[in-house]
Every structure is written in structure tokens, then in C-alpha cells.
Amino acid sequence: MTEQIYDLIIIGGGPAGLSAGIYAGRAMLDTLIIEKEKIGGQVTTTSEIVNYPGVRKSTGAGLTEEMYLQAQDFGVEFATGEISEVGLEQEVKIIKTATTTYKTRAVIIATGASARKIGFPGETEFTGRGIAYCSTCDGEFFSGLDIFVIGGGYAAAEEAVFLTRYGKSVTMIIREPDFTCAKMTADQAKNNPNIKIIYNTEVKEVTGDDFMKKAVFLNNETGETFTYEASAEDGAFGMFVFAGNQPSTEIFEGKIELTPQGFIPTNELMETSVTGVYAAGDLRVKELRQIVTAVADGGISATVAEKYVTNEKERLGLPAVSEKMLKKEVKEHKAESVKKAEKSKTTASNEWFPETMKEQLKGIFSKLTTNVTLVNLFDQNDAKSIELQAFLQQIEPLSEHIQFENRMLGQDDAFEKKINLTRTPTAVLLNDQGEYTGIKFSGVPSGHELNSLVLAIYNVGSAGQPIEDALVQRIQKLPASKIEICVSLTCHYCPDVVAACQRIASLNHKVEAEMIDTALFPDLKKEKKIMSVPAMIMDHQQVIFGAKTLEEIVTALESAQ
């Protein structure tokens, strides 16, 4: 069997990478997009987008979901994994993750940028207890409290406006004498009566106890300071940091030319210092970093890459379009009549999933090899328990390997003790032996959390997501422990943390991983002093905030032994 060589591999699944995938797929390039976390990138945290041409109003997650589906329409493949090594100089490029080595003729780097921390005293200590970086994820935690927004760029201005729906006051702290974004965006904040703006000012430090309660600010022109303290009634306040982004290009150091700040210089064709390697999006050296410029970069880079790949194939005497892509094209034509028929169908108002989503889920669940049982602990007096029942009942028909059981609360004490039932609504996953896997959902895993449920079923009912052997061995050696993952259904980072914890449970049933919708359990949120998600409660004690990788979670469990 001939080893597969992709025409193009795109590293990064944000707007730049998705746009490149759309153009490459439409050009019939055999294309793979590798994303280490969440498809959509940083823009998924944007609460409102009103300046993308042709889309009058959307969210970051909504816009990139359409891009993702559009790329799939053109036959683009997707893989999840963190790049561990790249070989770019040779004719056939090498891209390695922890579990897989990929080969390709061309590469587009679209790894984007990550949120930058300022580094003032207390920023790290109070992350999750007052300091936050995602308004859509954490805004609701600060309802009725004073909120400070740090920064004067696009994100700070837009998210300050969004946060007015939660905070009793919103104050912007800008270290420059004015905003650094476009006037129209700045004016939205300047003209909002619920936003106060303080210029030429920086955060000197924040302090507190369980929550952040005090902040000291410094005027960088006069040297004067002023202090804010949360009232005794409030007991806390919020501070959202939007201090720009830093390029995610560390893996490419020494492989291609980078600026001292880590950005990738390109020409107008998106070409880097290495032939056949292109860059697109916020990691490029350029004036404006917005979704519209990222997708433009992606389109240009894919178009130029297509010409390069075509010339390379012609030089090597290879067909311009791979047999795999030709088969995909034929398959799409055959399926067209089916799609047209589906459009005429109507979906019942009480159904959770449209027909197109059902077909996607059926495709994933077709890979199941053993039975998985979803058990709902049914409380007839709990509206959310009834909702969870309806939700899971519509998952069951998607595969012959998925079974659903509804068990009345209080009728099987032994089972409830076995699964450590402490709250409802709750559902758990059993394997083909009827054993509790340690995977639990307290809340309806809809919205973004649907991803974690799908992965949980896949990991229990099949070989599961690939993990390197050394990490599997570490997981299997972990002692009995419990991870409660507190989430918000609007959080785009939460599903990855839930999925990672539940992947551990699928390999080691002594580890229990419970997704908890914090909106349903305010007492837990108050008890554990949680003001940001994702938040992992380890064995009812330590709370770990923020997005963590599978290996980081395993390390935390090992250190707790």
C-alpha cells in the first residue's frame, strides 16, 4: 500500500485555516487541517460579529462553524492533535503529532495567536476568582458586580459593550491616551452610557482572599495611583484582560524565518522563507488583524499553494487530482439526490437535532464496535431531568450500539451509590459489560458540550481517540479519584477539558469525570468560589482553572497522589 502524501496540510483551524481549506478543497487538493484544540480558534470567544461582509450579525462560534461545514463540503479532512515536530525543508514535508506522522507537498501555517497575559502581581493567583479572559464564557459569573476591562483594542472595546448586560458597572482601563482600534469600534464603547473609560492607566496589582477584592491602578503619566475595593455587599468584582495576542509559532523556531516577536514575515503571496510553506492569519507581520484579513490570507495562500502543488505533480509525472479526491467528487454527485430529498423533510418541533446533524452523528457512531448504555437518573419533579431524558432518547436511534435506559430516582440505591449520585439531572455511561465507566453528565450536554458527549460515547464504544502508549500507561496507573468539571454551555474551551477528563475515565474506570453545568448548581459555584470556567474540582478540594491538555490533567492527578 502506497504511503499517503497529502497535497496540502493546514496547521490551525481558525478563520485563516478554514478559509484556506475551503479554497484548497474547491481546487480538488487532497487537504488536511490539523487543529490542536477547538475548530474556530480565538474568534470563537467573540460574542458578537457585525463587521464581516455579507454576514450582518453573528457570533465567532457561529461564523466559524459555517466555515467548518463549508470546508467539509469540499472534502477537506480534519484531525485533532498538537504538533510536536515539523520538517519543512525537504520536498515532502513532515508534520508530526504525538500519535501520527503526516506527509505533504505543501504546508500552510495558520496557528494564529493566543491571549496575552499582562503579568501584573495577582493576575495568575486570581485567574478564575476574578480575573477572566473570555466574556462569553465567564460574563454571567459577574452579574450585578463591578467589572473592569483592561485594554483599548478591538476585543476590549467590543467585549466591554457585551459585558454591560451583566455588570452593574463596566470600567475600561486603557494604558494609551486613546483606543488603538478603529474609530467606529471605539465609538461603540465611548458612546455607551454604561461604560466608563480611564486613559493612560495600568493595573499595578490585585489582591484579595478567596476572591479578588482590591485593585490598585497607576496613571503612567502622572505616577499617581488610585484603589478600587469591592463593597462588603458584593464581596468580589471582575477584571477581563484583553491585552492583545502573541503568535503561536514556537514550534517553527529555526525552521522558518520569524521576527524577534515570533511573527512570520511573508510576501503578498503568503510565501515564507521556505519553498512550499505559506503563512496566513494573525501570526503574519501585517497592519490589521481581523477575521476579514485572516480569511483573505487563507484564500491567497491556498491559491498559491495549489499552483505550487500542481507544478510539483507535473514535474514528478503525477496526476493533478488524486484518486481519492476523484472518488469523493463522484460520491458527492451520487448523494446530491439524497440531499435534495432531505431538504423537503420537516423536523418535528420537539427534536433536538436537524437531519443534517443526525447524518453527521451517524457517521461518527458508525465506528462503534461495542455497546454503550446511556442511563438517565430520572427525577419527575425536575424539569431539567425531563429535558435530559428527551435529549438522550434522540441519541439512541443514531446507532445500534447505543442503548438508553431511564431509571427512576430512588428506586435502585445500590446503583446510585455505585455511580456516586449527588445531584440531578444526571446521566452516566456504561460499557458493554454494564460497568460504570466513570463518565457522568450533570446537566444537558447540548450546545458546545454535545462534542464531549459524542467523544465520550466514541471512546467507550470503540478503540477511542489515539493516545501515545506512554500516556496510556500513566493513565492506567492512576489511583481512584474524582474530577468535577464545571462548565458553562456558552464556553468554547470547556468541551475540550471535559473530553480530556472523560478520556482518562474511559481508560481507567477508577477515575470519575463529571461534567457539571454550573448554571444549574449555584451552591457548588458558591462553595468552591468559581468565577470562571472551565474549572476542575479535583477530589472535592483543589480547583484548577482554564483550558488544560490531557497530559497536564494526568500530571495534576499524579501530583495529587
**Under CATH, what is the fold of the domain 6-113+246-328?**
FAD/NAD(P)-binding domain (3.50.50)
CA atoms within 13 A on the CB side of 103: 7
Out of 7, 30, 73, 138, the active site residue is: 138
Beta strands in 44-125 (DSSP E): 77-80, 83-87, 93-97, 101-109, 113-115
Same topology between domain 6-113+246-328 and domain 131-243 = yes
CATH class of 131-243: alpha beta
pLDDT confidence bin for 327, thresholds 50/70/90:
low
pLDDT confidence bin for 101, thresholds 50/70/90:
very high
Mean pLDDT rounded to a whole number for the chain: 89
pLDDT at 90: 93
Q: What is the pLDDT of residues 159-196, one digit of tens each?
A: 999 999 999 999 999 999 999 988 999 999 999 999 99
Beta strands 212-219 and 201-208 are: antiparallel
pLDDT at 359: 87
Query: Residues 471-477: what's their mean pLDDT?
Result: 95
pLDDT at 491: 83
Residue 329 has pLDDT above 70, yes or no: no
Residue 77 has pLDDT above 80, yes or no: yes
For residue 482, give the C-alpha cell: 474524582
Is residue 138 flagged as an active site residue?
A: yes
pLDDT confidence bin for 325, thresholds 50/70/90:
low
Query: Residues 151-164: what's their mean pLDDT?
Result: 93
Helix (H) or strand (E) holding 407: strand 402-408
Q: What is the pLDDT of residues 117-143, one digit of tens each?
A: 899 999 999 998 999 988 888 898 999
For residue 108, give the C-alpha cell: 500552510
Is residue 137 flagged as an active site residue?
A: yes
- Residue 276 one-letter amino acid: G
Residue 43 has pLDDT above 80, yes or no: no
CATH class of 355-559: alpha beta
Residue 115 has pLDDT above 80, yes or no: no
Helix (H) or strand (E) holding 296: helix 291-316
Contact at 8 Å (CB) between 536 and 516?
Answer: no
**pLDDT > 70: percent of the chain:** 93
pLDDT confidence bin for 278, thresholds 50/70/90:
very high
pLDDT confidence bin for 336, thresholds 50/70/90:
very low
- Provide the residue ranges of all domains of the chain, joining segments of one domain with +: 6-113+246-328, 131-243, 355-559
Q: What is the pLDDT of residues 402-434, one digit of tens each?
A: 999 999 999 999 999 999 999 999 999 999 999
**Per the confidence metrics, is the pTM higher than 0.75?**
no
pLDDT confidence bin for 333, thresholds 50/70/90:
very low
Out of 30, 134, 379, 496, the active site residue is: 134
Beta strands 101-109 and 113-115 are: unpaired
**pLDDT > 90: percent of the chain:** 67
Short-list 531, 511, 484, CA closest to 144: 531
pLDDT at 116: 81
Query: Residues 142-157: what's their mean pLDDT?
Result: 94
Helix (H) or strand (E) holding 195: strand 195-198
pLDDT confidence bin for 326, thresholds 50/70/90:
low
Measured from the Cβ of residue 188, the count of other Cβ atoms closer than 10 Å reads 15
Out of 30, 137, 282, 494, the active site residue is: 137
Residue 1 has pLDDT above 60, yes or no: no
